[in-house]
């Protein structure tokens, strides 16, 4: 897309554990980038100050002035209203309630600022510059600690009546399943995420299952995570392979629901757990194929995300650029 030469957009990807800021040009290229830790436990003011400090560092690195920034896009986790610029609540940011994040950042930095859900930002980044480029209807899914996603319909983010659509990880897959942090039971992310995989492994280890997983975690059950389980599976551990296949099965159940509801032309999958690759994704795609309508499945393509960890920050910048160029903005 071309939105005028010389424009520099600041993208902010705010997460519960990290803050990623970047200066991005209209071609989606990163000019300068900064990664820092989110002081989430220290409260709202500390997090906002960290955002501002991170912004200062990328501006210094690029050797520009604040006035050179045309717009700012913030991708934030949790429930938000992009129209009002309010972050209502976030499970990853304790104590945040009804925070006018857009207005706070705009006042501090002096450029038009736009707020978007972090998973929607990642979806928008993949739409504009990544695996979703050229698609009109696709779904982006990130499978990591939890499961998030963004829905693109007719080339636009579908955010619902109040900006809260796309909480894909919280559709119910198993009504009597594990308790989720959202308060529901059997959510998709309680069954097919990295956290779910680690939980099931620890339960099996506590039940005296024969496995090398604990040994690979240095004998510390608290260090059993998806990466350790994957390593064990690559070494032939039968429990590890079984657990990954089970997570893939539940991933496929959720994918089938999305395929039948939205009939997308493409589903783009990113997030750390997806790096397991075929061991996880093959059973997921097979299960989705069994459950989804055949014509919808036949016209569907699965793709791996292309922007990696930069999808959210590039997407936030791209969203800000789009909003800035809307008539009347």
Which of 137-175 are b and which e, b meaning 16 or more Cβ less than 10 Å from the residue's Cβ?
Answer: bbbbbbbbbbbbbbbbeeeebbbeeebebbbbbbbebee
In a domain, 298, yes or no: yes
CATH number, residue 235: 3.30.420.40
The answer to whether residues 229 and 102 belong to one domain is no
The answer to whether residues 93 and 179 belong to one domain is no
Model confidence band, residue 16 (pLDDT cutoffs 50, 70, 90): confident
In a domain, 3, yes or no: no
Q: Model-level pTM?
A: 0.88
Which of the two residues, 221 and 3, has the higher pLDDT score? 221
Any idea which of 21-30, 90-99, 262-271 has the lowest mean pLDDT? 90-99
Model confidence band, residue 4 (pLDDT cutoffs 50, 70, 90): very low
Model confidence band, residue 329 (pLDDT cutoffs 50, 70, 90): low
Residue 213 predicted with pLDDT over 80: yes
Quick count: other Cβ atoms within 10 Å of Cβ 256?
Answer: 20
In a domain, 123, yes or no: no
Q: Can you tell me the mean pLDDT for 228-232?
A: 98
In a domain, 124, yes or no: no
Any idea which of 19-28, 90-99, 173-182, 304-313 has the lowest mean pLDDT? 90-99
The answer to whether residues 290 and 159 belong to one domain is yes
Residue 23's φ and ψ, nearest 5 degrees, are -95, 130
Q: Measured between alpha carbons, how far is 98 from 89 in angstroms, rounded to an integer?
A: 7
Residue 48 exposed, middle or buried by CB count within 10 Å (0-12, 13-18, 19+): middle
Q: Can you tell me the mean pLDDT for 53-57?
A: 97
Model confidence band, residue 56 (pLDDT cutoffs 50, 70, 90): very high
In a domain, 245, yes or no: yes
Evaluate whether 82 touches 163 at the Cβ level (below 8 Å): yes
- Report residue 234 as tokens: 């690559």
Residue 1 predicted with pLDDT over 50: no
Q: What is the pLDDT of residue 162?
A: 78
In a domain, 256, yes or no: yes
Q: What is the pLDDT of residue 326?
A: 85
Which of the two residues, 86 and 161, has the higher pLDDT score? 86
The answer to whether residues 142 and 290 belong to one domain is yes
Q: Can you tell me the mean pLDDT for 175-194?
A: 95
The answer to whether residues 174 and 226 belong to one domain is yes
Domains: count for the chain: 2
Strand arrangement of the beta sheet that strand 86-89 belongs to? 79-81, 86-89, 97-99
Residue 224 predicted with pLDDT over 90: yes
Model confidence band, residue 5 (pLDDT cutoffs 50, 70, 90): very low
In a domain, 2, yes or no: no
Model confidence band, residue 90 (pLDDT cutoffs 50, 70, 90): confident
The answer to whether residues 75 and 173 belong to one domain is no
The answer to whether residues 98 and 182 belong to one domain is no
The answer to whether residues 170 and 270 belong to one domain is yes
Any idea which of 83-87, 89-93, 119-123, 234-238 has the lowest mean pLDDT? 89-93
Residue numbers of the domain that contains 198? 131-305
The answer to whether residues 105 and 202 belong to one domain is no
Q: What is the pLDDT of residue 145?
A: 85
Per-residue pLDDT tens digits for 117-173:
999 999 999 999 999 999 999 999 999 888 999 999 999 999 888 778 899 999 999
Q: What is the pLDDT of residue 31?
A: 96
Residue 59 predicted with pLDDT over 60: yes
Q: Can you tell me the mean pLDDT for 254-266?
A: 97
Residue 6 predicted with pLDDT over 60: no
Residue 163's φ and ψ, nearest 5 degrees, are 80, 15
Helices 118-129 and 311-324, packing angle to 10 deg: 80
Q: Measured between alpha carbons, how far is 154 from 80 in angstroms, rounded to an integer?
A: 22
Q: Can you tell me the mean pLDDT for 39-50?
A: 95
The answer to whether residues 150 and 50 belong to one domain is no
The answer to whether residues 225 and 135 belong to one domain is yes
The answer to whether residues 52 and 105 belong to one domain is yes
């Amino acid at each position: 897309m071309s939105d005028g030469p010389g424009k520099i957009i600041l993208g902010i990807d705010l997460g519960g554990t990290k803050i990623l800021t970047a200066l991005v040009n209209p071609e989606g290229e990163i000019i300068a980038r900064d990664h820092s830790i989110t002081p989430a436990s220290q409260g709202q003011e500390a997090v906002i100050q960290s955002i501002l400090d991170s912004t200062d560092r990328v501006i210094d690195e690029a050797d520009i002035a604040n006035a050179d920034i045309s717009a700012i896009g913030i991708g934030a986790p949790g429930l938000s209203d992009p129209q009002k610029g309010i972050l209502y609540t976030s499970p990853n940011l304790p104590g945040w309630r009804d925070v006018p994040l857009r207005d706070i950042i705009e006042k501090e930095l002096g450029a038009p600022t736009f707020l978007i859900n972090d998973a929607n930002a990642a979806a928008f980044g993949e739409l504009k510059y990544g695996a979703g480029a050229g698609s009109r209807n696709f779904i982006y899914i990130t499978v990591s600690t939890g499961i998030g996603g963004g829905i693109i319909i007719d080339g636009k983010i579908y955010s619902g009546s109040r900006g809260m659509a796309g909480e894909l990880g919280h559709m119910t897959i198993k009504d009597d399943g594990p308790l989720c942090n959202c308060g529901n039971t059997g959510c998709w992310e309680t069954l097919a995420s990295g956290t779910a995989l680690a939980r099931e492994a620890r339960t099996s280890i506590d039940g005296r299952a024969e496995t090398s997983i604990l040994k690979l975690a240095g004998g510390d059950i608290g260090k059993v995570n998806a990466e350790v389980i994957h390593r064990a599976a690559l070494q032939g551990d039968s429990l590890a392979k079984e657990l990954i296949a089970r997570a893939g099965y539940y991933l496929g159940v959720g994918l089938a629901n999305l395929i039948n509801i939205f009939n997308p032309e493409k589903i783009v999958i990113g997030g750390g757990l997806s790096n397991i690759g075929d061991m996880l994704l093959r059973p997921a795609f097979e299960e989705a194929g069994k459950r989804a309508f055949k014509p919808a499945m036949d016209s569907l393509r699965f793709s791996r995300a292309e922007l990696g960890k930069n999808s959210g920050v590039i997407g936030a910048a791209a969203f800000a650029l789009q909003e800035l160029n809307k008539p009347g903005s």
